[in-house]
């Protein structure tokens, strides 16, 4: 459903570009993460749970499939990609804004657990989702590259109430 709605948005934008000359740029932004982001996103959800565990407020960390892969891009890089697209991009072109690197969710959790002893991690084994990037299509023509390593957001302390 989500993917279909994104395709429909792109088709509508391209139609307006082709028929009416409306200058549209089509960035396809993959998973992004940043310090202090919404705790519903995977990295922040895991970080929040790890902190709650450390504070004794949680006995186990609940996750989805830790073997899933995502292409994470720091939100600050996404913003710089938007600017690069607006400055150097071509209207009517689709751009994949991503790092081009697959990160296993288990790696994200392991980064967060470096200094902690975890009692239990529970996840439903039936889940197998993937959001992998086939590379930053279109972005390479503008010499744009992600500057922030995917682990950068984990260097800031979380700020949950």
Mean residue pLDDT of the chain comes to 80
With beta carbons less than 8 A apart as the criterion, state whether 72 and 115 touch: no
User: CA distances (Å), 1 to each of 7, 14, 140, 143, in order?
Assistant: 10, 20, 29, 33
Give the pLDDT band (50/70/90) at residue 127: very low
Q: Which has more confidence, 28 or 151?
A: 28
The string of pLDDT tens digits covering residues 55-68 is 899 999 898 899 99
pTM of the model: 0.69
Position 119 scores a pLDDT of: 45
Q: Is 161 exposed, middle or buried (0-12, 13-18, 19+ CB in 10 A)?
A: exposed
The string of pLDDT tens digits covering residues 16-30 is 999 999 999 999 999
% pLDDT > 70, the chain = 73
User: CA distances (Å), 19 to each of 3, 46, 69, 148, in order?
Assistant: 24, 46, 38, 38
């Amino acid at each position: 459903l989500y993917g279909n709605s994104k395709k429909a948005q792109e088709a509508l934008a391209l139609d307006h570009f082709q028929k009416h000359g409306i200058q549209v740029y089509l960035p396809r932004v993959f998973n992004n993460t940043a310090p202090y982001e919404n705790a519903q996103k995977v990295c922040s959800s895991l970080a929040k749970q790890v902190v709650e565990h450390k504070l004794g407020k949680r006995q186990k960390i609940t996750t989805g499939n830790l073997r899933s892969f995502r292409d994470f891009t720091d939100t600050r890089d996404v913003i710089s990609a938007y600017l690069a697209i607006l400055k150097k991009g071509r209207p009517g072109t689709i751009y994949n804004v991503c790092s081009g690197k697959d990160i296993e969710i288990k790696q994200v959790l392991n980064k967060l657990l470096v200094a902690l002893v975890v009692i239990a991690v529970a996840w439903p084994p039936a889940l197998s989702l993937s959001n992998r990037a086939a590379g930053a299509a279109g972005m390479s023509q503008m010499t744009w590259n992600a500057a922030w390593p995917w682990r950068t957001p984990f260097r800031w302390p979380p700020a949950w109430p």
